[in-house]
Copies of this chain bind each other. A is one copy, B any other.
């Protein structure tokens, strides 16, 4: 039971790296089992077929993603009672997290699957949609709390601003991977942070509502 879990995780680790580097179709089971140190029979003991591998790969990625985001913005909320400051702190911590990844972000599984839609059954595609909407929803709730204290400087839909972070991250990952410069992703997240700050706490908008000065405010 415990040993089985470990092997399963090892298979998923190897497969995830391969999928993000070569795509799902080019991720050969032979290569995965060779790197994971098992046989083909061992692989098919853990996963019925390749499609189930994809499903579990995505499920695990989403769970980890949610865990990280919740912990990150949870800690940020402990550092400031003001929703805006907490969100800005969270964004800065997110940027630092990305900066600390050795070799840069390996890639977003959601984006990878998105560009190979036709390979997967509806369960995987639906899960992918739910995942991205779930992240959007989490971010949106933060922005709604911020907007409750005062309207944005320029009229931009809160939902669109929430989606923008997902776009910035996915786009930033691509930018970083293509150019070979991991810092590009970090810069983009901080640029988004500037956008949020300007929308809700720009110098000329100060005084509209009581904004506490948090550690992330510059």
**In the complex, A197 Cα to B155 Cα: how many Å?**
12
Indicate whether A194 reaches chain B with its CB closer than 8 angstroms: yes
Q: For the complex, is A153 an interface residue (Cβ under 8 Å from B)?
A: yes
Stretch touching chain B among A68-76, A90-98, A137-145, A176-184: A176-184
B111→A197 contact, CB < 8 A: no
Q: B160 to A187, Cβ gap below 8 A?
A: yes
Tell whether A161 is near chain B: CB-to-CB under 8 Å: yes
A184 vs B26: C-alpha distance when bound (angstroms): 30
The digit string for A1-37, where 1 denotes a CB below 8 A from any CB of B, is: 0000000000000000000111111100000000000
Known: A174-B111, A187-B160. A116 touches B167 (CB 8 A): no
Q: Which residues of the other chain, B, contact A160 by a CB distance below 8 angstroms?
A: 187-188, 190-191
User: Helix, strand, loop or mixed for chain A's interface?
Assistant: helix
A51 at the interface (CB under 8 A from B): no
- Residue interface mask A99-143, B partner, CB < 8 A = 1: 000000001001110111111000000001100110000000000
Count the A residues whose beta carbon is within 8 Å of the partner chain — how many?
55
Determine the residue in chain B with the shortest Cβ distance to A167: B171
Query: 8 Å CB contacts to B: which residues of A142-165?
Result: 153-154, 156-157, 160-161, 163-164
Q: How many copies does the complex hold?
A: 2
Interface residue A198 (Cβ < 8 Å from any Cβ of B): yes
- Asked if A77 is at the interface (CB within 8 A of a chain B CB), the reply is no
Given contacts A115-B111, A118-B22, contact A188 B164 (CB under 8 A): yes
Tell me which residues across on chain B come within 8 A of A20, comparing CB atoms: 115
Report the bound CA distance from A16 to B174 in whole Å: 19
Assess A177 versus B117: contact at CB under 8 Å? Given A156-B194, A187-B157.
yes
Partner of A24, one of B23, B118, B133, B179: B23
- Chain A residues within 8 Å of B, Cβ to Cβ: 20-26, 107, 110-112, 114-119, 128-129, 132-133, 153-154, 156-157, 160-161, 163-164, 166-172, 174-175, 177-180, 184, 187-188, 190-191, 194-195, 197-199, 202, 204-205
